[in-house]
Structure 1
């Protein structure tokens, strides 16, 4: 079934067109300066418009741009006549009869009516266009333009090489989330080619299936070990969605791929995520709650995360329920003032058959390590024995958070392993925290890459100050620029206090993604 859809970063109204004789009419409110079926619009003074229109037919070339200009006071008649004339010139025939029912178009309330060719004509019985997409145009001084150029058409997919840069699951998460948000058909090849066991693992497959389900999209090639998938998204919807890795695969990584999507859903969402809550090679759920959540909410959204059961390697068995309300747009953030460290706190935990003494030893070793460098602050790390009905299997670990006078948050964490002394686990977490405090940035090494997709979607310019820019962050920036067309710059911090430090400013001009449902 042939169709052509123009995708923009603004809300769109889609008008379904019946395959037979008849018409489709759409009414809209006068909320923005102009509407059009368009890729581009240029304004020469008040009321004079040039619209680049796209219509498609399977027997014709892929697209016929038709430029037309008119004064707004006589827009209905002249727009209709000139549009049809341009289409006759391009196609050698008139594919549509077009009537305008408002003498204030463009820019006012009104409706279009598109009528199929008469029975018996050259186009009778053919589907000229499955749906027409109305894109709001953003007016500026002497120029009016949409939020983005057309990004994809039927038969065209964005091609992603999953083996470049970081070469792991992050490429899959970022590209799939942006595909879902922007309506971009996607093909990812060489999935996790940079890992010792390439291809999809259970947590990656679960994340893909969740994104497919929350937008009613189509997913092909998705199975354990697969190195290539194709994904065709549809409209994002709210409701209850479940992802179960059936392993110790990280629930936090499931959250990373799904949360940006449901922020732009039509209604609130509940994500039931099952797997490992405290897993290696991924943020611990405690990090997500204590560091990621308060910083991410500066973009203007909130979410609630209810930890039902904690799950550890190798069995998993954890479950968290994340509730998210959609937003109209994301606000930009400015995190460039670190301030001074005012608090250091954390938790050391054990679960299952492990004794509380292990948690106490981790906490004590971490405190001793921190006090060698920071002597004027009280360090509070609470040893915790997880309740048996709230944890599945045996596990241990520690997370330590430093909070500053300006609300910045940094963390160090580590998980216990068989045969590894508890003191060593505590010291590893403490040294990670201290390293993140030394570089002078406002976010730690594990938060910087998680913020990139939100910066890309935000409505304005965001800035964060970081330490050394990680490969994960560089990868997230690369794909946000390629898929979303956000503009990033990374430069050395020029502040005097950062002169001797490896400190950088990451700046992004976001695309101003708007929720079409709100």
Structure 2
């Protein structure tokens, strides 16, 4: 099935989440579906409206991958037009030149890379562990295994250097082999927590004891709420060749008896105790598990585009529908023929749709 539309479609960049997610979803679906778009009122409700460096680099990355035309692409711009071409394999480079999130650059580029005409290599620079975005470890350890359930789509990531706020400087290489299509998923039975593992880290001049304190906070929360579940959290200090600047954080992964992968994460902040950071990250998992969700609140919105592109019906049980998920559904329905149905069941919601069944004709 095709989702092409020869007419330029206007998108209000101020609705719902009102930020970078609208840009990422819009330009990615534009490139995949051959839809020309015009995004207006970009980040209109933010303290600094318009495109920031991170958003601009994401738009330019998809433009390069698809050989498209991009107008209005400059810092502070509140209006852009994008006319996509054909997604090509090759090596592509994007550098936020700030601590702007590498994971968000990958979010905009990865679906396009999966439907390229040959292998894609992404050289991405910026922040690997940044606020208001998935940590790169969350992307590889939580998002990736959930993505792989859609028929084997995956990626390899090589981390060369970590980048933290405010300096950035992180660098990863991502290799993506194109696929023929994505397959619908049925992720509606959560099962029970089987095991939990994770990583608690510090870098720069911070003492390694802080990583242990962060891990202890997570472990205590799990002992209080998920008794009897095996928890293994590695505490360590990054080497200076990988991470030269100060930072701390934690990434946690819960695997259930039904194969669900549920994550939690947190970054250290000045004035917040390390134990509290670990406890908050653990609570992300506890909250999802306690209601019977099959994915955590940070992963649910990232799966919407995969559901829309896949062949057949997809159904995923989540907890509360987040604003990012509502935004992802809104943009997807606006740019494609896919319609989502949300069914409430006690403390959970089942998100369902019949996908486009997008086919990559370059893959046999």
What TM bracket, shorter-length normalisation? over 0.9
Distance 2:92 2:228 in 1: 47
Match for residue 168 of structure 1?
19
- Alpha-carbon displacement from aligned partner over 1:283-338 (angstroms, at most 9, x marks no partner): 01111111100110111212111111111111011011111011111111110111
1:406 aligns with 2:258: yes
Cα distance in 1 for residues equivalent to 2:25 and 2:115:
16
Partner of 1:514: 359
SS at 1:253's partner residue?
helix
Identify unmatched segments of 5+ residues in structure 2. none
Query: How far, CA to CA, are the matches of 1:302 and 1:362 in structure 2?
Result: 30
Q: How far apart, CA to CA, are the structure 1 residues paired with 2:264 and 2:337?
A: 33
Alignment partners' CA distance in 2, 1:190 and 1:219: 16
- Deviation of residue 196 (structure 1)? 2.3
Is the partner of 1:419 in helix, strand or coil?
Answer: coil
For residue 227 of structure 1, give the secondary structure of its aligned residue in structure 2. coil
8 Å CA contact retained: 2:255, 2:262: yes
TM-score of the aligned structures, taking structure 2 as reference length: 0.97
1:430 aligns to what SS in structure 2? helix
Q: Secondary structure at the match of 1:331?
A: coil
Equivalent residue for 1:151?
5
Structure 2 equivalent of residue 435 of structure 1: 287
CA contact (8 A) 1:166 1:194 kept: no
Q: 1:436 to 1:354 in 2, by over 3 A?
A: same
Whose radius of gyration is greater, 1 or 2? 1
Match of 1:255 in 2: 106
The residue correspondences of 1:464-483 to structure 2 (distance < 5 A) are 464-483=316-335
Change (3 A) 1:363 1:406: same
Task: Give the alignment partner of residue 504 of structure 1, picking from 312, 332, 349.
Answer: 349
The residue that corresponds to 1:363 in the other structure is: 215
1: CA distance, partners of 2:244 / 2:126: 10
The aligned counterpart of 2:201 is: 349
SS in 2 for 1:277: coil
- Measured against aligned partners, the alpha-carbon deviations of 1:381-424 in whole angstroms (never above 9, x if no partner) come to 11011111111421110112211011111122110112322122
1:312-331 map, 5 Å = 312-331=164-183
Do residues 387 (structure 1) and 239 (structure 2) align? yes
- Alpha-carbon distance in structure 2 between the residues aligned to 1:487 and 1:271: 31
Give the match for residue 98 of structure 1: none
What is the root-mean-square deviation in Å for CA atoms of aligned residues?
Answer: 1.2
Distance in 2, Cα, partners of 1:427 & 1:193: 34
How many residues align? The count is: 362
**Alpha-carbon distance in structure 2 between the residues aligned to 1:265 and 1:392:** 35
Aligned-residue offset at 1:194: 3.1
Larger RCO, structure (CA 8 Å, separation 6 or more): 2
CA contact (8 A) 1:354 1:395 kept: yes
Q: Determine the structure 1 residue equivalent to 2:344.
A: 492
